[in-house]
Structure 1
Amino acid sequence: MIVIEVEVHRQLHAFLRDQGSDQWPHHLTIARLVARAFRLKRSALIQISASAKHQGLHRLSYLAPLMIWRDAVILVAPLAAQQQLLRVEMPHLHEWMQIKKPILAADHWPGSHFKGVLLVTPEVWLRDYLTQAYQFPSDIPTLIDNADQLEGWAQQQLTLSLHPPDWEQLIWCYPPLLELIRETRVKLTRALFQHPENPYGHTLIEQKERQILAQLHQAILAHGMALSPPNWQQFWQAYQSDHHLLWSGLNRDNGAFTLHCAPNEVNLSLQGLWSRQPVVLMGSSFDLEPEAKLFRQQLGLEDMTYVQFGAHREAEAVQLYLPDGLPMPNTPSFQGALLKQLHLLMVANAQPGGPTVIIIEDTPMQRQMATAMASEFGSRVQLETSDLDAETILITGWDYWLQHQATLPTPALLVVATLPIPSLEDPRVAGRVAYYKHHRQDWFRLYLLPTALRTLQAAIAPIRRHQGIVALFDNRVLHRSYGQQVLTALSPYSRINYLDDSLFATASGQQRLE
């Protein structure tokens, strides 16, 4: 009997040779690793470069073992990745290998007879475990694509939310408490809207609001918790725990609020998941620590095979412009210095070979910069739009860029005003930091810095394809102890100390060669 690793290597090697595909050097090695994990039923964590993930180069590596494996397998992937797989990669490889294995995208298990590849979204797969539905059988080999987003996916599934209609539902369940429920809602509204406004539209639930909720909770306990709707029961169980973050979303236009409750850490909720089946997790930007120790700790992952495939130094290195001597971002003079640097960049890039993307997270500064630059560069300056051409100067925040970068033209120049360290002005961030402090943990190393590094690596991933220019104007990189970790996350790069039109001409020439 041929070991599956040998068969996977043979067929994928023949396919790559037939297609003349030499885009990525790691296809065969990763394919063997996935096949070995399935055969030995030993989970594995495979880290690839952010650029390779952005381009989807890794998908072919895991598709071969998924199709050649003789029994059922589950592929957990976001919907956008599934659509790409079903439209392009899977039909091509399936036809070439002449394998009759069925491929199905669904939100449930097809039945005991199924021996094919089942595609499910992370939301469906996680919800099945977290709600203890267990409709997906145990021991089915499972591959998770984009696994670096697992913590965020799990947080979303574990977040409990109570919307305005839920209060009406509670009244129907407890008619004798009608006045108390309505009074509680009024008191909460009054207390929550006394919090200062912030750009995030959220506020933490503090002691005053907790006391209001506690009075209602005691009355409901006296009448029987079993009468409560399921979402209220879950909320009452979670909101008292110091392991959970409780906050409110406010709609100041209509005076409504939504209550949210989520665990500060997801590892306890996920620990039992990983022993149900052999799992291969593939993604980028897991961790800078050896063996992805922090990432595994955050997800409750047990000891597993860990392999890292770094970015190709020649093919994926960006040109990094990191001038020294700029004011720190939290000083009043930073905004003027940033505007001057942006002016110099635009002058040097007189004939752009692609759009320029400027990431500024601070909303007031973002709009002020857009106004100031538009006065000089006119309609070229756009604020968070998808209508881009080679001369567009797009000013945007991190979320917009990360959500739309896959569908936007690749910029020749990406400007990062400040590091994407989560802001303590966001009540949700402040609440999680308070949790780490309460437990005497290093909140910066465990939460803020890893979040910033993952965001930064994902943001510059498209630039690597054309070896474009990244300009970083946050001098904390050069003058703070964590600066070296930021530079490691940016690797590979070629440091440049000046800007002129010849440099931009080289970058745009490389982009046109693509």
Structure 2
Amino acid sequence: MTDKQYKYAVVDLEATGANSSGKIIQIGIVIIENGAVTQIYETDVNPHQKLDEHIKELTGLDDRRLRKAPEFSQVAREVYDLIHDAIFVAHNVKFDANFLAEALFWEGFELLTPRVDTVELAQVFYPSLDKYSLGQLCRTLAIPLENAHTALADAQATAQLFLKIQEKIRGLPKALVEKILDFGDSLIYESRLAIEEVYQSLPNGRVKGLQDCQGIFLKKPASRGSEKKLSQDFLTNLYLLGLEERPEQLRFAHFMEEALDQQEPSFLQAQTGLGKTFGYLLPILARRKERVLVTVPTKVLQDQLLQKEGRILQEVFGLTFHSLKSPDNYLKLDRFYDSLAVQDDNRLTNRCKMQLLVWLTETETGDLNEIGQAHRFSAYFSEIRHDGKLSRKSLFYQEDFWRQGQVKAAVSRVVITNHAYLLTRLEDDQSLLDNRILVVDEAQKLFFALESFSQASLNLTKLLQQISQLLQTKQRLVQERLLQSIQFELAHAAERQRKRDSELQTEVVEKLRQDVSELDEHLLPELQAMFSPKYQYYWLTDEAGADYRLKKLHAGRSDLLRFTEFLPETAKVILVSSTLEISSKVNLAQLLGFETYHFYKLKNRKRPLQKLFLNTDFPNVTDLSSQDFAQQLAVALQELAALGRPIVALFTSRDLLLATSEQLSLPHLAQYKNGDASNIKRRFDRAEANILLGSGSFWEGADFAEQEQIVQVITRLPFDNPKDFFVQKINSYLKADGKNSFYDYQLPLAILRLKQAIGRTRRNERQKSAVILLDNRILTKRYGKQIQHHLSQLASFESLSQPEILQKAADFFDEEQSD
């Protein structure tokens, strides 16, 4: 590598359009030499055509101004002279470089400069970001960007971004940068040159805070400070945390203190938005040195609790927190190390390796969910994820993230996990609860986690491919016949499922169970586990995303699992939720298997800063096809967008969510399309888009506390699918117990889900939210009065036309602005 200092020309263009017929209308150039800006250049360009309104709005340019500007032919020479001997740098260099090179070519100048893309460099050296638009990078990295989408302003911001990237490289060990450069040819164009220039000037030696592990550099563990004592008074602790007193939270904390003195399990019911997390953590942490294990429904909430309440408690009181997840959330260093020895055929995989090398200098956990665009590398991540196994002979035994996580969990004062992993762990290792108080937050979701735990699933498409591959290899005749029989039965079942017959017939199950039981142990082990006596029911489903469709085979148990079966007899358990009472005849404690318990209930109160509206103009949802439903939703969302507030729309169907996304012309974030739930939630909180389409965990597992004012759209009442395996099972269970499954369970559960969802947008005393329900069954069905009664207990509830809702919601939001 040469010691030459490069000259860089950072370029941004504005044009009439991005296609081949587009014309340049503005040029901004920033020259960088020896790490500093030495020259800037800007000019408007007359395109000799009218601008469309979008370009005018985006750039601030107009036809009158451009008519006075020079033609491109008049500035081509000075542009070429300025950049022809420099490395061409741009944010999305392919567009700017190709566009400018073509325009110069027609004026007789051939631009052959190397090209560097700041998008790819930012992806490598800032691996934890979710988005790499220039505007988002400037906000994240505190780079000034006024007059965005004007050429010089964007070029200057890109130049500062480029210098920041090079400065970050200077903070890395030379040996690490050399390893990154091993994959440098996988970057677009000649982007590696920007890394090489810094590499040549790096000193040999160590970098403070990093440790070299077999050529991979890891962040040294931070030393833990001493823990400070909490006051015995709840309010004093709140004041020390800088939090305001809330009467409901104080009453909840008093219930918690009483529950801690009980020998039997305790259930605490309280509505959302009162600060339950501090309400249960502070009394436990203040009273004694006992440690606590908190479990929440989803990894989204798990990360949220650690990053918000956990971080505050760590900073103020020096308390140690650890987030415990299943092994496959973590990078396995052995596998990653092996992958570095291979140049992948896919250049994006090689770029991902570069990103991970940088990320490992920053992460304290090794949790792959920290990678902002992890969903783009799912195939590669499946190769390097941890499997929960670790040999003492491993090169990375001491540094292994999964092993270190277990050590941290053993010594941390507070451990946070999720319901699914808690059940998996307790099944084999109840010592996790030794000397710990278990707090089950959002306890109603534990019931569904138990059902998920009692099921197994396989990708049927992939399984049939595996069987085909096995049949192409040499097998003993008996095994070959068994594989062929299994292949036939599964393929035939899949064909029937395409015609809506999803449950496997008893004779098919018995035939498969017999064939699978006679397979050699090493053949299809996951299928063998699925057809063990543990499971009694089998069915098929289709899953679809924005760019995939797959068929799954499911197995389930006929009995209901009880949470009490997972707990050691001495376990101290406190279960917290806003929805512990399902109906007068069914409650969560019974469903979880608790026979004796203490129950504490905080009364609900109406929230004046929340309004509930039923849209009487929306068509009957049960009469609409999926396509018509999506079109109607898109129209409704576009009209609501006129309110100028963030909108979160909740769906009960993935297919409907994606269909609505296709119909919606406004910028938005859609689950399954733009990333997983935690990813798009972070992006929504950062206001990358004003509309979020969510399903699943967004009903009960994500808080929208960042938005001071928010609109929530509930597209359909959240009833369970009556054909769902679990619904049929619980219906049978309740019927056998003499209960009406609809009125004693299904309807109350739907109402509770509604309450939970509505509670997601009233997270504090100042937040203002308007909730719009689109399902007219609330008015037309006999059970609708029951739903209306419960909703009216939460907030003001009105049935209005769409125009009336828009006006009332606008007035409602504006009232707060004038206060």
Asked whether the two chains share a fold, i.e. TM above 0.5, the reply is yes
Residue from 464, 471, 475 that aligns with 2:772: 471
Residue 46 to residue 512, structure 1, CA distance change in 2 (3 Å): farther
Post-superposition CA distance 1:451-474 (Å, at most 9, x none): 423432232223335342222232
* Whole-Å separation in 2 of the counterparts to 1:71 and 1:176: 64
- Contact 1:151–1:266 (CA<8 Å) still a contact in 2? no
Secondary structure, in 3 states, of the residue corresponding to 2:718? coil
* Equivalent residue number for residue 21 of structure 1: 243
Secondary structure, in 3 states, of the residue corresponding to 1:238? coil
C-alpha deviation, 1:354, in angstroms = 0.3
* Equivalent residue number for residue 812 of structure 2: 507
* Whole-Å separation in 1 of the counterparts to 2:508 and 2:490: 9
* Whole-Å separation in 2 of the counterparts to 1:161 and 1:263: 12
Secondary structure, in 3 states, of the residue corresponding to 2:416? strand
* Equivalent residue number for residue 4 of structure 1: none
State the one-letter code of the partner of 2:571. Q
Residue 451 to residue 238, structure 1, CA distance change in 2 (3 Å): farther
1:119 paired with 2:416, answer: yes
Post-superposition CA distance 1:20-68 (Å, at most 9, x none): 633532333333333333333232111222344xxxx211112222322
* Equivalent residue number for residue 413 of structure 1: 711
**Sequence identity, in percent?**
18
Alignment of 1:333-482 (within 5 A): 351-359=642-650, 361=652, 379=666, 386=680, 394=691, 396=693, 398-399=695-696, 401-402=698-699, 406=704, 412-424=710-722, 427-428=724-725, 432=729, 435=732, 439=736, 442-445=740-743, 448-465=746-763, 466-482=767-783
* Corresponding pairs, count: 483
Residue 84 to residue 207, structure 1, CA distance change in 2 (3 Å): closer
Where relative contact order (Cα < 8 A, 6+ residues apart) is larger, the structure is 1
1:192 paired with 2:496, answer: no
| Stretch moving more, 302-311 or 264-273 | 264-273
- Contact 1:9–1:28 (CA<8 Å) still a contact in 2? no
- Contact 1:47–1:285 (CA<8 Å) still a contact in 2? yes
| TM score, norm. by length of structure 1 | 0.73
* Equivalent residue number for residue 573 of structure 2: 279
- Contact 1:70–1:115 (CA<8 Å) still a contact in 2? no
State the one-letter code of the partner of 1:354. R
- Contact 2:426–2:567 (CA<8 Å) still a contact in 1? yes
- Contact 2:324–2:415 (CA<8 Å) still a contact in 1? yes
Residue 473 to residue 510, structure 1, CA distance change in 2 (3 Å): same
* Whole-Å separation in 1 of the counterparts to 2:812 and 2:238: 30
Secondary structure, in 3 states, of the residue corresponding to 1:444? helix
Secondary structure, in 3 states, of the residue corresponding to 1:205? coil
Secondary structure, in 3 states, of the residue corresponding to 1:463? coil
- Contact 2:458–2:552 (CA<8 Å) still a contact in 1? yes
Secondary structure, in 3 states, of the residue corresponding to 1:469? strand
1:30 paired with 2:322, answer: no
Residue 306 to residue 159, structure 1, CA distance change in 2 (3 Å): same
* Whole-Å separation in 1 of the counterparts to 2:262 and 2:568: 15
Residue 457 to residue 186, structure 1, CA distance change in 2 (3 Å): same
* Whole-Å separation in 2 of the counterparts to 1:421 and 1:486: 12
1:153 paired with 2:449, answer: yes
* Whole-Å separation in 2 of the counterparts to 1:438 and 1:181: 40
State the one-letter code of the partner of 1:49. Q
C-alpha deviation, 1:321, in angstroms = 2.0
* Equivalent residue number for residue 204 of structure 1: 503
- Contact 1:358–1:393 (CA<8 Å) still a contact in 2? no
* Equivalent residue number for residue 3 of structure 1: none
C-alpha deviation, 1:340, in angstroms = 7.8
State the one-letter code of the partner of 1:181. L
- Contact 1:356–1:391 (CA<8 Å) still a contact in 2? no
* Whole-Å separation in 2 of the counterparts to 1:96 and 1:165: 52
Residue 391 to residue 475, structure 1, CA distance change in 2 (3 Å): farther
Post-superposition CA distance 1:371-400 (Å, at most 9, x none): 77x5xxx53687656576999784846337
* Whole-Å separation in 2 of the counterparts to 1:501 and 1:355: 14
1:487 paired with 2:487, answer: no
1:89 paired with 2:309, answer: yes
* Whole-Å separation in 2 of the counterparts to 1:155 and 1:68: 35
Alignment of 1:36-55 (within 5 A): 36-52=258-274
- Contact 2:232–2:287 (CA<8 Å) still a contact in 1? no
* Whole-Å separation in 2 of the counterparts to 1:397 and 1:91: 27
* Whole-Å separation in 1 of the counterparts to 2:492 and 2:711: 46
Secondary structure, in 3 states, of the residue corresponding to 1:236? coil
Residue 513 to residue 342, structure 1, CA distance change in 2 (3 Å): farther
C-alpha deviation, 1:362, in angstroms = 5.7
Secondary structure, in 3 states, of the residue corresponding to 1:141? strand
- Contact 1:170–1:229 (CA<8 Å) still a contact in 2? no
* Whole-Å separation in 2 of the counterparts to 1:85 and 1:121: 11
1:299 paired with 2:299, answer: no
- Contact 2:252–2:602 (CA<8 Å) still a contact in 1? no
| Stretch moving more, 318-327 or 42-51 | 318-327
| TM score, norm. by length of structure 2 | 0.49
* Equivalent residue number for residue 479 of structure 2: 178
**Higher normalized helix content (fraction of residues):** 1
* Consecutive unaligned residues in structure 1, runs of 5 or more: 1-6
1:321 paired with 2:543, answer: no
C-alpha deviation, 1:183, in angstroms = 2.1
- Contact 1:460–1:470 (CA<8 Å) still a contact in 2? yes
Residue 473 to residue 82, structure 1, CA distance change in 2 (3 Å): closer
1:12 paired with 2:309, answer: no
State the one-letter code of the partner of 1:89. E
State the one-letter code of the partner of 1:285. T
- Contact 2:530–2:555 (CA<8 Å) still a contact in 1? no
C-alpha deviation, 1:293, in angstroms = 4.0
| Stretch moving more, 136-145 or 79-88 | 79-88
C-alpha deviation, 1:178, in angstroms = 0.8
- Contact 1:102–1:115 (CA<8 Å) still a contact in 2? yes
- Contact 1:288–1:489 (CA<8 Å) still a contact in 2? no
Secondary structure, in 3 states, of the residue corresponding to 1:203? coil
Residue 236 to residue 331, structure 1, CA distance change in 2 (3 Å): same
* Whole-Å separation in 1 of the counterparts to 2:408 and 2:690: 52
* Whole-Å separation in 2 of the counterparts to 1:81 and 1:276: 28
1:76 paired with 2:294, answer: yes
- Contact 1:8–1:32 (CA<8 Å) still a contact in 2? no
State the one-letter code of the partner of 2:271. S
* Equivalent residue number for residue 64 of structure 1: 282
Larger Rg computed on CA atoms: 2
- Contact 1:51–1:464 (CA<8 Å) still a contact in 2? yes
Secondary structure, in 3 states, of the residue corresponding to 1:474? coil
* Whole-Å separation in 1 of the counterparts to 2:265 and 2:744: 24
| Stretch moving more, 261-270 or 490-499 | 261-270
RMSD: 4.9
- Contact 1:414–1:469 (CA<8 Å) still a contact in 2? yes
State the one-letter code of the partner of 1:204. E
* Whole-Å separation in 2 of the counterparts to 1:401 and 1:111: 30
* Whole-Å separation in 2 of the counterparts to 1:313 and 1:254: 44
Residue 329 to residue 95, structure 1, CA distance change in 2 (3 Å): closer
- Contact 2:705–2:761 (CA<8 Å) still a contact in 1? no
Post-superposition CA distance 1:72-107 (Å, at most 9, x none): 32322344444444444345446655xx76544457
Secondary structure, in 3 states, of the residue corresponding to 1:76? strand
Post-superposition CA distance 1:392-441 (Å, at most 9, x none): 784846337547764985774333332121234x6546754775598586
C-alpha deviation, 1:352, in angstroms = 1.1
Secondary structure, in 3 states, of the residue corresponding to 2:556? strand
* Whole-Å separation in 2 of the counterparts to 1:338 and 1:112: 46
